[in-house]
Amino acid sequence: MEKRFYSVKEAAYYSGLSRRSIYQKIQDGDIRYYRAGGVKGKIILDRQDIDDFIMANEFKNSDQIRDILKEKKIQIR
């Protein structure tokens, strides 16, 4: 059974992002977070929130980008 809540370090490893990027996404409001132990407690992230962020911001490879541009009728050289 997978964990439901991750520390920032664990979330970074799980998502493939850096810890700095995770903190930035939290600050920007892109990933929801919780504090274990109150206002000054440790930041924890729900795995579902991380998954939702990843799916909404899925990185594309070059072939996928070409297909998207082709669908939008944008020519590339």
- Per domain, the residue ranges of the chain are 5-71
When mean pLDDT is compared across 15-19, 39-43, 55-59, the lowest value belongs to: 55-59
Q: CA–CA separation, 48 vs 19, rounded Å?
A: 18
**Tokens at 63, concatenated:** 């072939």
Q: In sequence order, what DSSP letters do the residues of 21-32 get, joined into one string? A: HHHHHHHHTSS-
Q: Looking at residue 5, what is its pLDDT? A: 94
Per-residue pLDDT at 43 exceeds 80 = yes
For residue 30, the one-letter residue type is: D
**Domain 5-71 annotated CATH 1.25.40:** no
Mean per-residue pLDDT of the chain: 85
Q: Looking at residue 77, what is its pLDDT? A: 59
Q: Looking at residue 33, what is its pLDDT? A: 95
Q: For the chain, how big is the Rg over CA atoms in Å?
A: 16
Task: Evaluate whether 27 touches 71 at the Cβ level (below 8 Å).
Answer: no
Task: Evaluate whether 16 touches 27 at the Cβ level (below 8 Å).
Answer: no
For residue 22, the one-letter residue type is: I
At residue 56 the predicted structure's pLDDT band, cuts being 50, 70 and 90, is confident
